Amino acid sequence: MAGIYIHVPFCKKRCLYCDFFSNINMNKKSYYVEAVCRELLKRKNYLKKDKIKTIYFGGGTPSQLDESDFNAIFDAIYSNYDITEVKEITLEANPDDINNDYINILKKFPFNRVSLGIQSFDDEDLKFLNRRHDAAKAVTTVESLQKAGFDNISIDLMYGLPGQTKEKWQKNLDIATSLNVPHVSSYHLIYEESTAMYKLLKQGKISQVDEDTSLEMFRMLISHLKANGFIHYEISNFAKDGYFSMHNSSYWKGVKYIGIGPSAHSYDGNTRSWNPSDMDSYISGNYTQETEELSNEEKYNDYILTSMRTMWGLDLNEVKDRFGNVMYEYCIKQAKPYIERMLISDKDNRLTITPEGIFISDSIMSDMMYV
């Protein structure tokens, strides 16, 4: 089983915090769609004819694609890949793009999951982040999608924003759970160097929330969602039973995937490769991937970083089988102090980060990695 990721690098405007590869000039969209179809054909053997289980349109803003764009891309997927057992097809969408006409277009295609970049239900936050929608639009978008039969909806929420209080964050969480969506992804704001947000921080125009508040917001997130029936299945992801993201879970479980579009990454089980982050080069047919052959230690580190983030954790038998005795012993040695402090649980040869350990998960994973 394998996955297909399609990167759609267009945004109507840039959000202050974002460093993803995307373009606000839509003039080249039709050339981009043609290039995506060519790449899907040219690289069709990358997954060695594995059956496709998940397809994910991410971005950028995939909801900037229209009916003819989806027609062309789905045709290229259907003609070149085995989709007989596909289970999940996700569209990332900006609430501002979703209206009844657009929902009717989506219903013509096999999308069965929509991931909405809501980020906040607070108008001040949304304005500051330079998002296109307001809080009311976020709520009506969820309701319109549900009314149209899309029950598998994920919403993204950000916390740790400058000026965001714990009260505001709680209000966001209350609205999120009142909407009856089965999946929430929530990330702390990161100040990426290339972003406008980082510049504001460096100019002293905004300040970061303090560490205690960040931690408390993370605690609030976990306890509120758990109290409302969500399973905390990955550090930043929560879902009702049966609604885990299959596509993202595949990444965390080391399943192969092909990434299509400029800047998209692919993984075939042994190597990682990626397309250049350059639209002109991409549409002119240059999607020669840069490739990185992973050493045994790098594969082990990847396994730590992906498995320890999830509630399924790390299988010590798998570490021994895949990476050998030396890495197995190393893994046990590094995990031991955390097991003794009950920050990692060791049950049936499976290591998972405990609810107490989750607040220092970055340090735990970093200590378990091979350097």
Token pair for 102: 């657009």
Is the preceding omega at residue 261 within 30 degrees of 0, hence cis?
no
How far apart are CB 228 and ligand SF4 at their closest, in Å? 26
Residue 33 or 189 having the CB closest to ligand SF4: 189
Q: Out of 94, 185, 248, 275, name the contact with ligand SF4 by CB under 6 A.
A: 94
**Which residue bears the tokens 């590094």?**
334
- Residues 54 to 73: which contact ligand SF4 by CB under 6 A? 59-61
- Residues, the chain: 371
| 44 makes contact with ligand SF4 (CB under 6 A) | no
By CB under 6 A, the count of residues binding ligand SF4 is 11
| 14 makes contact with ligand SF4 (CB under 6 A) | yes
From the list 50, 58, 43, the residue with the least C-alpha distance to 256 is: 50
Residue 197 or 331 having the CB closest to ligand SF4: 197
Residue 237 or 307 having the CB closest to ligand SF4: 237
Q: Out of 62, 95, 117, 262, name the contact with ligand SF4 by CB under 6 A.
A: 117
How far apart are CB 218 and ligand SF4 at their closest, in Å? 21
| 22 makes contact with ligand SF4 (CB under 6 A) | yes
**By CB neighbour count within 10 A (0-12 exposed, 13-18 middle, 19+ buried), where does 333 fall?**
exposed
How far apart are CB 31 and ligand SF4 at their closest, in Å? 20
What Å distances lie between residue 255 and 1, 219, 260, CA to CA? 7, 31, 16
| 184 makes contact with ligand SF4 (CB under 6 A) | no
Instruction: Select the span of 13-21, 104-112, 140-148, 280-288 touching ligand SF4 (CB under 6 A).
Output: 13-21
Q: Which residue is nearest to ligand SF4 (CB)?
A: 18
Q: Out of 2, 4, 8, 15, name the contact with ligand SF4 by CB under 6 A.
A: 15
Cβ(248)–Cβ(113) under 8 Å?
A: no
Residue 196 or 326 having the CB closest to ligand SF4: 196
How far apart are CB 320 and ligand SF4 at their closest, in Å? 40
Strand 290-293 to strand 314-315: parallel, antiparallel, or no bridges (unpaired)? unpaired
How far apart are CB 184 and ligand SF4 at their closest, in Å? 17
From the list 28, 20, 22, the residue with the least C-alpha distance to 9 is: 22
| 262 makes contact with ligand SF4 (CB under 6 A) | no
Residue 11 or 157 having the CB closest to ligand SF4: 11
| 11 makes contact with ligand SF4 (CB under 6 A) | yes
Sequence-separated (6 or more) residues with CB below 8 Å from residue 64: 8, 10, 11, 12, 26, 29, 94, 97
In sequence order, the β-bridge partners of residue 266 are 273
Q: Out of 18, 181, 283, 304, name the contact with ligand SF4 by CB under 6 A.
A: 18
What Å distances lie between residue 9 and 36, 131, 285, 301, 314, CA to CA? 11, 16, 16, 29, 34
What sign does the CA torsion over 192, 224, 131, 166 have? negative
Cβ(83)–Cβ(109) under 8 Å?
A: no
Binding residues for ligand SF4, rule: CB under 6 A, are 11, 14-15, 18, 20, 22, 59-61, 94, 117
